[in-house]
Chains A and B, each alone.
Chain A
Amino acid sequence: ETGVTQTPRHLVMGMTNKKSLKCEQHLGHNAMYWYKQSAKKPLELMFVYNFKEQTENNSVPSRFSPECPNSSHLFLHLHTLQPEDSALYLCASSQVLVGTDTQYFGPGTRLTVL
């Protein structure tokens, strides 16, 4: 499945580093999402972009900063993270206005904050 790609697949960073996660969708969709998957917790929605406009910010700390330059690309900029931010970060995309608006996911970025 290569419809949604994410880079890097694994990232280890210190608390003072700045890094970015990248997501790209090749499905022609118009909405993109960031989810966080922590151990023993349900997936949590972080951000939603619909037609490049942010439509939802699920009370995410400001140390996470999303960017959606176009409908195919989504970034998550990270700075001054905490160890509890270690998790799997999943990107998804969907085509709004069509049918069930099914979300398709990328393989995720495994983030470890030291």
Chain B
Amino acid sequence: AQTVTQSQPEMSVQEAETVTLSCTYDTSESDYYLFWYKQPPSRQMILVIRQEAYKQQNATENRFSVNFQKAAKSFSLKISDSQLGDAAMYFCAYRSAISGTASKLTFGTGTRLQVTL
């Protein structure tokens, strides 16, 4: 079974600064997908960024980028130029790349990010 570990329960960053959230995972599969979701106080789970394991290039979405290290099974999220609206719980998630069928997401326990002035 796959597991996802987020070792930082809470992080804090000053506005306009950069912060990196850590995520490691365990799997015996060679092909899979990784995601970062954001859950603000509204509780809406919002997709931040996704990475296909077969792609060596790290995904980027505006101020959000990942550092995907497949051999180390590490998938960190970097938030640049942090904004107050980035304050939320951030979840790392794993999904098998089994085609043709709906497949569950396995989530980590989350990292609560605070953004200070």
Residues in A lying within 8 Å of B, measured CB to CB: 1, 31, 33, 40-43, 45, 48-50, 55-56, 58, 88, 90, 92, 94, 96-97, 100-108, 110
Question: Is the pair A101, B102 in contact by a Cβ cutoff of 8 Å?
Answer: yes
A101 to B50, CA, bound (A): 11
The digit string for B93-117, where 1 denotes a CB below 8 A from any CB of A, is: 0010001111111111110000000
Whether B102 contacts A96 by the Cβ 8 Å rule is: yes
Give the contact-size bracket for chain B: 20 to 34
Footprint of A on B, CB under 8 Å?
A: 4, 33, 35, 37, 42-47, 50, 52, 91, 95, 99-110
On chain A, the residues within 8 Å of B108 by CB distance are 42
A33 and B102 contact, CB distance less than 8 A: yes
Can you name 29 A-B pairs with beta carbons within 8 Å?
A1-B44, A31-B102, A33-B104, A42-B106, A42-B107, A42-B109, A42-B110, A48-B104, A49-B102, A50-B101, A50-B102, A55-B101, A96-B100, A96-B101, A97-B100, A100-B33, A100-B95, A101-B33, A101-B95, A101-B103, A102-B35, A102-B47, A102-B50, A105-B37, A105-B44, A105-B46, A107-B44, A108-B44, A108-B45
Further contacts, 12 of them, CB under 8 A, given A43-B107, A96-B101, A104-B47: A1-B44, A41-B109, A43-B91, A48-B102, A48-B104, A94-B102, A101-B95, A103-B95, A105-B45, A105-B46, A107-B44, A108-B44
